[in-house]
Structure 1
Amino acid sequence: MELLMVKANSLKLNLLLNIIKTSLAILFPLITYPYVTRVLLPEGLGKIEFVNSLVSYFIVIAGFGIPVYGLREVSKYRNDRDLLSKKVHELFILNTIATVVVFSVYIILVLFSEKLFLQKELCFILGLSIIFTTFGMDWVYQGFEDYLFITIRNFIFQVLSLVLLFLLVKSSDDYLIYAGLLVLSPIGSSIINFFLLGKYIDFKIFNNYQIIYHIKNVLIIFVTLLMGTLLLKLEAVLLGLFLGYADVGIYSVANKLINMIVGVIAMVGMTFLPTIIHHVNKNDEKYVQLLLNKSINFVIFITIPMIIGLFCLSDEIIYLLAGDSFSASVLPFKIMLLIIIFNAVSVVYGNQVFLAYHQERKSLFILMIAGLIGIVLNFILIPLFNVSGAALAVTFSSFIAVLLQYFFAMKYAPINILTIQNLKSIIMSLFMGIIILVSKHLLSPWSPIILVIIPVGVVVYFSGMAFLKDDFTSEILSIMKKKISDYRQKK
């Protein structure tokens, strides 16, 4: 019993730190994006998003699946420093070889592609991320669940980037400076990570490095990640090739908002992963099942009201974050909102279940099917519906992916989605949506309407969930009462 309490407290702390970290990852873009979109406009923003999407492919290829595979290996061997050090050395050597090859190919592509050569300075600046992501080895810190360090480090670089943005980026001609600020955080974080690794591993040379062994094991994870990135970034690349930078800019605003939310869910989901892997290896199936059910219920508890609220306020949100120049982003944003719930469920099935139970082949198969469907749909829908066609393609391919994941994952973890708790979330989210629409009608056309309606929506949802005696809301209220009680006793 005491051991379970320690596990629960540790998981709660990691979850809290990850929520803080991901909240900051949302907060800073919310502060900077309205400024960036109004300064760079669709054309300037489109250039950066087009090149950045291309660079994302090269980062994944250079990573060779090691960020995910390495996290799993560190979670397994973190109690044996000597063996862990050898494993990390092997993975770093493999990662370095892949990075050198991939970065060389990237440079050749930029030099010989007319479209990319015209943006060679931008390609070089953003391409630095390919190199420095390798040296960051964030997967070591995640494997040790050192989320306090990761949270503080990210916060420092986010503040620095924020200050420099407002000081240095003044017009659409400053898009190269903005690109430099985008890579500042990953480069700085990677350098700090590398020099602090001695806390967890030794730098002595070992005999018989087994690099080939890891290549065989990491290959499926690598191709899976590549297909996942293809799903996320394909539309921006194709829009840049078929239409123009302005269309990429329009799409990127909608995509940016969706990805910020999806990123929060993914990071929260990764908080559970080391613990799930650890207990799967101990054959503690009861505790694993408890965690997986809690995980799926939590993401539904958060994502359903999020989707309803964002749909009702989509016009106001796009205007607030991007201005009149990006009004065409509203429709693709509404279409892509469904991706939030698809990815939330996918985090549990694709990341937690398949990785923990070593079922990467199934994950790869699913993403390949979804990726192929996405490619075909993009070539059909973009010429017909432009930016909205890209939004439809990525949304439908995400739906296919999560549907297949659900089908295959049930064999290993029969997670129950159709619960009373999740039904409560749906009912209260719909009620919240009605309140938001009525409030909009009463307050319109007052410009800061969103600043009033969002808190109203949050209060309505959580109050309703508390009235329905929802498990998560009850737990949150219990923690708050305890904190208040402890504070009063200290006084």
Structure 2
Amino acid sequence: MIKLDKKLVQNFGYLTIDQIVNLALPLVTYYYLINLLGKTYYGKAILAVVIVEYFAVLVNFGFNLSGVQSISKNREDTNKIRKILSGIYYVKFLLMLVSAIAYFLIVYFAFRENFELYAYTFTICIGAFLNMLFFFQGMEDMKYITIINTIIRVLFTVLIFFSITEIEHYIYVPLFNGLGQIVAGLISLFVLFKWFDFRFVKQTYIELVTIFNEGLVYFSTRIAAVLNEKSVRLLIGIVLGDEQIAVYDLAEKIIKPLKSPFMILSQTIYPRVAQNNDFSVLRKTITLTVLIALVMIAVLWFVAPWIILTIANESLMEAKYIIYILSVTLLFDGVSYQLGAPGLLVLGKVKIFNAGIIAKVALLFILCLVLYLSAGIESIMYFAVIAAVISLFDMVYRLYYSRKFKII
């Protein structure tokens, strides 16, 4: 039996609520938006979000991992926490300025005809700057951030139904997403000042460089992960057009929430494993992950068409084939999540962890290039198969090294 203390169980519960809200609310608005905007204009909005998310990763840098570790190890030292948080805020602000310059240059030269859409979408980057989820994870106190995010997301979801009423309003879809993140971030900052005795403190150049380097260790991991996750949709938008990206996006919206329990398990045990290097809980969660994933895959094969008709319409029924293919990634990614941060990173195998993710991205582009040169890419199903192969590669890679270093 796994012995989990009260705080660990509570944080698992709060992370579960946060993930459910984060993934379920877009499904609530999906039926309304896809029928109002149509595949073309909805696809345009999705493509803008995909592009800006690359820059959001630059803003977050590697602090979602390095920040959790630093906070977790120094949670009893208020002065140290102030220094860590202040340093991360300062570095993220500088990264946001760099992102803004690069982003708007790209938009001006490549997407000028939709400049207003892309300008509104940049609010997501500002939200990334204000996001302090890593602090609450490191402190193992997810109550505040969960309540804040839930209330704000529900509020802005309701506003979508009242504010987006015509096709021309498609430019506001990413704006509501970004504004919600900004408001939640500002409230979280207030909570830090009010209940965690946070104060901004001066940082020396050396201290900022140290914090930057700590994040840099994990940045290649994050950017490579996002390249792997987002590039498929980006390539679909470029190669096959806005309508096809809308179809693939629907399949992902159904698959992604089902991966959240495995991500939550990983996020919940990560601070605890990082604190005492106890891998016994990790081994149990891997077994649980495999069992849950197999059940999910079996159920999806029966209910996928019904889900599509419930949240979308008949014109998007092509997405069921994408769901069938991507369903296997529930197992592959579920196991990979457990072996990643709570496994290889905790053991200090950062280079191996990063090399695996970079290899995934390289394999993705190699497979896409080979397919394009040999047979051409005429269907989104090709992209779905490639995504499944990449997911399998990642799981096998992490399993190999986890066995080698006796993590499992």
For normalisation by structure 2, the TM-score amounts to: 0.93
Decide whether aligned partners of structure 1 residues 217 and 20 sit closer, same or farther in structure 2, where only a CA change above 3 A counts: closer
User: What are the equivalent positions in structure 2 for 1:47-446 lying under 5 Å apart?
Assistant: 47-113=44-110, 116-198=111-193, 199-205=196-202, 209-280=206-277, 288-381=278-371, 383-415=376-408
Secondary structure, counterpart of 1:146 in structure 2: coil
Quote the offset at 1:21 in angstroms.
Answer: 2.2
Decide whether aligned partners of structure 1 residues 380 and 41 sit closer, same or farther in structure 2, where only a CA change above 3 A counts: farther
Quote the offset at 1:184 in angstroms.
Answer: 2.7
| CA distance in 2 between partners of 1:363 and 1:207 (Å) | 31
Could you tell me whether the CA contact under 8 Å between 1:58 and 1:106 is conserved in 2? yes
**1:294-334 deviations in whole A, cap 9, x for unaligned?**
22123223222111101221111122121112112111121
Secondary structure, counterpart of 1:313 in structure 2: helix
Could you tell me whether the CA contact under 8 Å between 2:120 and 2:172 is conserved in 1? no
Could you tell me whether the CA contact under 8 Å between 1:251 and 1:332 is conserved in 2? yes
Could you tell me whether the CA contact under 8 Å between 2:69 and 2:271 is conserved in 1? yes
Residue 333 of structure 1 aligns with an amino acid whose one-letter code is: I
| CA distance in 2 between partners of 1:141 and 1:275 (Å) | 13
Decide whether aligned partners of structure 1 residues 380 and 72 sit closer, same or farther in structure 2, where only a CA change above 3 A counts: same
| CA distance in 2 between partners of 1:62 and 1:203 (Å) | 19
Could you tell me whether the CA contact under 8 Å between 1:41 and 1:325 is conserved in 2? no
Quote the offset at 1:230 in angstroms.
Answer: 0.6
Q: 2:25 aligns with which of 25, 28, 37?
A: 28
| CA distance in 1 between partners of 2:177 and 2:256 (Å) | 16
Q: Identity of aligned pairs, percent?
A: 22
Residue 119 of structure 1 aligns with an amino acid whose one-letter code is: N
Quote the offset at 1:379 in angstroms.
Answer: 3.1
| CA distance in 1 between partners of 2:262 and 2:146 (Å) | 16
Decide whether aligned partners of structure 1 residues 400 and 289 sit closer, same or farther in structure 2, where only a CA change above 3 A counts: same
Quote the offset at 1:353 in angstroms.
Answer: 0.7
Residue 141 of structure 1 aligns with an amino acid whose one-letter code is: F
- Structure 1 residue runs of 4+, over 6 Å off? none
Decide whether aligned partners of structure 1 residues 34 and 143 sit closer, same or farther in structure 2, where only a CA change above 3 A counts: same
Match of 1:478 in 2: none
Could you tell me whether the CA contact under 8 Å between 1:157 and 1:184 is conserved in 2? no
Could you tell me whether the CA contact under 8 Å between 2:124 and 2:178 is conserved in 1? yes
| CA distance in 2 between partners of 1:208 and 1:380 (Å) | 46
Could you tell me whether the CA contact under 8 Å between 2:343 and 2:407 is conserved in 1? no
Residue 404 of structure 2 aligns with an amino acid whose one-letter code is: K
Aligned residues: 403
Q: Do residues 38 (structure 1) and 38 (structure 2) align?
A: no
| CA distance in 1 between partners of 2:280 and 2:150 (Å) | 32
**1:14-42 deviations in whole A, cap 9, x for unaligned?**
11222222222333233222222222221
Could you tell me whether the CA contact under 8 Å between 1:62 and 1:130 is conserved in 2? yes
| CA distance in 1 between partners of 2:282 and 2:246 (Å) | 37
Q: Which moved more, 1:264-273 or 1:400-409?
A: 264-273
| CA distance in 2 between partners of 1:182 and 1:131 (Å) | 11
Decide whether aligned partners of structure 1 residues 222 and 315 sit closer, same or farther in structure 2, where only a CA change above 3 A counts: same
| CA distance in 2 between partners of 1:208 and 1:60 (Å) | 23
Decide whether aligned partners of structure 1 residues 274 and 200 sit closer, same or farther in structure 2, where only a CA change above 3 A counts: farther
Secondary structure, counterpart of 2:377 in structure 1: helix
Residue 251 of structure 1 aligns with an amino acid whose one-letter code is: Y
| CA distance in 1 between partners of 2:401 and 2:18 (Å) | 32
**1:376-417 deviations in whole A, cap 9, x for unaligned?**
2223446334211111111111111111011112234442xx
**1:223-265 deviations in whole A, cap 9, x for unaligned?**
0111100111001111121221111111111122222222442
In structure 2, the gaps of 5 or more residues are none
Q: Which moved more, 1:328-337 or 1:261-270?
A: 261-270
Decide whether aligned partners of structure 1 residues 108 and 58 sit closer, same or farther in structure 2, where only a CA change above 3 A counts: same
Could you tell me whether the CA contact under 8 Å between 2:24 and 2:257 is conserved in 1? no
Could you tell me whether the CA contact under 8 Å between 2:339 and 2:398 is conserved in 1? yes
Structure possessing the higher radius of gyration over alpha carbons: 1
Secondary structure, counterpart of 1:89 in structure 2: helix
Quote the offset at 1:208 in angstroms.
Answer: 6.6
Could you tell me whether the CA contact under 8 Å between 1:59 and 1:133 is conserved in 2? yes
Q: Which has the higher contact order (CA 8 A, sep 6+)?
A: 2
Could you tell me whether the CA contact under 8 Å between 1:90 and 1:209 is conserved in 2? no
| CA distance in 2 between partners of 1:305 and 1:69 (Å) | 34
**1:34-77 deviations in whole A, cap 9, x for unaligned?**
22222222112211111111111111122221122111111111
| CA distance in 2 between partners of 1:413 and 1:161 (Å) | 46
Quote the offset at 1:100 in angstroms.
Answer: 1.0
| CA distance in 2 between partners of 1:69 and 1:51 (Å) | 28
Could you tell me whether the CA contact under 8 Å between 1:314 and 1:333 is conserved in 2? yes
Could you tell me whether the CA contact under 8 Å between 2:14 and 2:146 is conserved in 1? yes
In structure 1, the gaps of 5 or more residues are 281-287, 416-491
Could you tell me whether the CA contact under 8 Å between 1:353 and 1:413 is conserved in 2? no
